[in-house]
Structure 1
Amino acid sequence: MTNPTFDMQAAIQALRDGKGLSGKDGILTPLIKQLTEAAMQAELEQHLEQGEAPNRKNGSSAKTMKSTSGNFELNTPRDRAGSFEPQIVKKHQTQLTDELERKIIGLFALGTSYQDIRAHIEEMYGICVSNGTLNAVTDKLLPELQTWRERELDPIYPIVWLDAIHYKIKENGRYISKAIYTILAVNVEGKKELLGLYLSEHEGAHHWLSVLTDLHNRGVKDILIACVDGLKGFPEAIESIYPKTEIQHCIIHQVRNSLKYVASKNQKAFMADLKCVYKATTLNAAESALDELEAKWGEKYPVVINSWRNKWPTLSAYFKYPDYVRTAIYTTNAVEAVHRQFRKLTKTKGGFANENSLLKLLYAGILRASERWTHPVQNWNLTLSQLSIHFEGRLDAHIDL
């Protein structure tokens, strides 16, 4: 069947009349069809010329193609021997380019719901896509995610932040809460890098041990400073795999937990005194402020004071460093910023049908977030010099100072 030649004059007139170039009934759709079919005819002719056995053209078969310029019927040429394998548009291909898939994954990485993605694709390109199609496209992230989760890591990371975020995932007909363990690091070049995502039913020191073991198996032999929340047993889990790692408990987590045990009428005054502890300029000044805090509030809130006393070695580790290092390590804010991005992606979803539906969304978000991690963190050269002094010899083989 002969196809009409693309009418340039009619296209120009349609453009003047306000008709769109792409999308449903777009001006360019007939041209895309014509060019594609011409290219496939050329492919077939080359195939026939190179063939040794007698062969010839054998008509064509039609299929509906989806493209960003609109849907159209594509007539695929055939040969008598059935040996022709078109490369421009393969036999079972129904989408002209991967542009549509990139658009879908781009919208998915923004946390856009399937319903909104469908509406956007139909409005922009005149193509109706089903939830099954969207799942098939976004599922292409899963093998990439698995490769990313198993990739080899650097032998040393100067700073690592560890934290967890919780989601509802459907399992055996009901939704249960599971923890996503997030490991964010700064490499020796000062650039942020997400080392891994791990999923467990509960946040606990036992599972953190398996996470740290995985990091070690993937090549991480040393961590200088690990910044963690107040989970019981966490420092011991780190010490069992990385015995020389310095632990810094998150001050913000500790403050939040402390205020749970302070009466609301006293919280303002208590916080003013507590700030003198963790905002002190030196370790001696901080310890003096802690003594004063205990003298004033110890009888009323012994649980809070005991918590600060018991964790003081890991709460106060940051005092040995100058301000630009302290700012980086005294909280887990860096990894919590990643979790804020995760929450933006998942805020419209009450739960997830399975683990993969959650993990591929978070991975898409990671890819987007990491695009901004192209420069070293602030004051990195100064920070690295300080760490080289405090952790003498451990960085020597990995940096040039």
Structure 2
Amino acid sequence: KHDATGRNSGNSRNGTRSKTVLTDVGPVEVKVPRDTAGTFEPQIVRKRQRRLTGVDEMVLSLSAKGLTHGEISAHLAEVYGAEVSKQTITTITDKVMEGMAEWQSRPLDRVYPVVFVDAINVKIRDGKVANRPIYVAMAVTVEGTRDILGIWAGDGGEGAKHWLQVFTELKNRGVEDVLMLVCDGLKGLPDAVETVWPRTVIQTCIVHLIRNSIRYCARQD
């Protein structure tokens, strides 16, 4: 038999052949009946499938927690006895990045009643762990549902210049007008909004308004 990457382990008797499938409980050997006419379509372990979906979800979860591909491979080997190569892990994570890129560039609605924008600093591993700003734009659609328009990673502090690039990208993806944009009190951001959507009403976030008001209260209050 071979490792858990799923190569065939050869033909067996009674018209079946064996293959190893990687699952979230470890490698499982599956005996596949021969189908000369090619009319049978398996439902649980499909033809040429080497990993069940639970394995991909496990790899993505570990990757999201900051583990390197080598650490993920070692973890799966230690806990599940499954030998998963770094290349296989890269293949799994790359599929997510492809989907993320497609989602990030998808066409948007022509008008949004409300758009919330903010930046949050998170720790990102890029050679070394460092704080980087993540810019997020969330909209309320005309149907009343919420939709994340995009997520962008910056390389410095939150600035109006970067927000101008974000707003320009949103406009290029089809957003012709925003009725109200909710943001913090970042200096220069209203000018960036006016450059892209001149008629948009700027509303300071209620949380920031409360924080600003509390500054004038006595500490005991």
Same fold flag (TM > 0.5): yes
**CA offsets per residue over residues 355-380 of structure 1, 9 Å max, x none?**
xxxxxxxxxxxxxxxxxxxxxxxxxx
Query: Quick one: distance in 2 between partners of 1:2 and 1:150?
Result: 47
> Which residue among 49, 53, 70 is the counterpart of 1:99?
53
In structure 1, C-alpha distance between the alignment counterparts of 2:128 and 2:79, rounded to whole Å: 36
Please, which runs of 5 or more residues in structure 1 have no aligned partner?
Answer: 7-21, 45-67, 70-86, 90-94, 270-401
- Structure with larger RCO (C-alpha < 8 A, sep 6+): 1
Relative distance call for 1:175 and 1:248 in structure 2 (3 A) is same
Identical-residue share of aligned pairs (%): 33
Partner amino acid for 1:267?
R
Partner residue of 2:198? 243
Shift of 1:262: 5.4
For the pair 1:188 / 2:197, whether they are aligned, the reply is no
What pairs with 1:123-142 in structure 2 (closer than 5 Å)?
123=79, 126-142=81-97
Query: Whole-Å Cα distance in 2 between the matches of residues 113 and 185 of structure 1?
Result: 32
Match of 2:209 among 242, 254, 258: 254
CA distance in 2, matches of 1:4, 1:192: 57
The count of aligned residue pairs is 196
> 1:176 Cα shift?
4.7
Tell me whether 1:179 sits opposite 2:148 in the alignment. Answer: no
Choose the corresponding residue for 2:120, options 155, 159, 165: 165
Alpha carbons of 1:151 and 1:267: their partners in 2 closer, same or farther (altered >3 Å)? Answer: same
CA distance in 2, matches of 1:147, 1:122: 35
* Superimposed CA distance per residue, residues 29-75 of structure 1 (whole angstroms, 9 cap, x where no aligned partner): 3xx2343xx24xx279xxxxxxxxxxxxxxxxxxxxxxx99xxxxxx
Question: Per-residue deviation at 1:105?
Answer: 5.4
Alpha-carbon contact 1:166-1:178 (below 8 Å) kept: yes
Q: Does 1:144 align with 2:153?
A: no
Asked whether 1:211 is paired with 2:209, we answer no
Counterpart amino acid of residue 138 in structure 2: L
Distance 1:240 1:119, change over 3 A: same
Separation in 1 of the partners of 2:170 and 2:129? 29
Cα RMSD of the aligned pairs, angstroms, is 3.6
1:3 is aligned to 12
Tell whether 2:31 aligns with 1:33.
yes
| Corresponding position of 2:219 | 267
- Cα offset, 1:239, TM superposition: 1.5
Greater CA radius of gyration, 1 or 2?
1
> Would you tell me which structure has more helix in proportion to its own residues?
1
Structure 1 residue aligned with 2:7: none
Q: Does the residue aligned with 1:128 lie in a helix, a strand or coil? A: coil
The alpha carbon displacement at 1:230 in A equals 1.4
Contact 2:160 2:187 in 1 (8 A): yes
Letter paired with 1:3: S
What is the CA distance between 1:214 and its match in structure 2? 0.6
Please tell me whether the aligned partners of residues 118 and 130 of structure 1 are also in contact (alpha carbons under 8 angstroms).
no
Partner-residue secondary structure (3-state), 2:58: helix
Aligned-pair CA distance for 1:175: 5.1
- Is the contact between residue 115 and residue 138 of structure 2 (CA under 8 Å) also seen in structure 1? yes
| More strand, by proportion | 2
Q: In structure 1, what is the equivalent of residue 4 of structure 2?
A: none
Give the drift of 1:117: 8.3
The alpha-carbon distance between structure 1 residues 244 and 109, as it changes in their structure 2 partners (threshold 3 A), is farther
Partner-residue secondary structure (3-state), 2:31: helix
Name the amino acid aligned to 1:193.
Answer: D
Q: Return the alpha-carbon distance in structure 2 between the equivalents of residues 204 and 141 of structure 1.
A: 29
Tell me the TM-score normalised to structure 2 length. Answer: 0.71
Distance 2:136 2:190 in 1: 16
Deviation at 1:180, TM superposition (A): 1.1
* CA distance in 1: counterparts of 2:138 and 2:73, whole angstroms: 30
- TM-score w.r.t. the length of structure 1 is 0.42
Deviation at 1:98, TM superposition (A): 4.8
Distance 1:117 1:235 in 2: 48
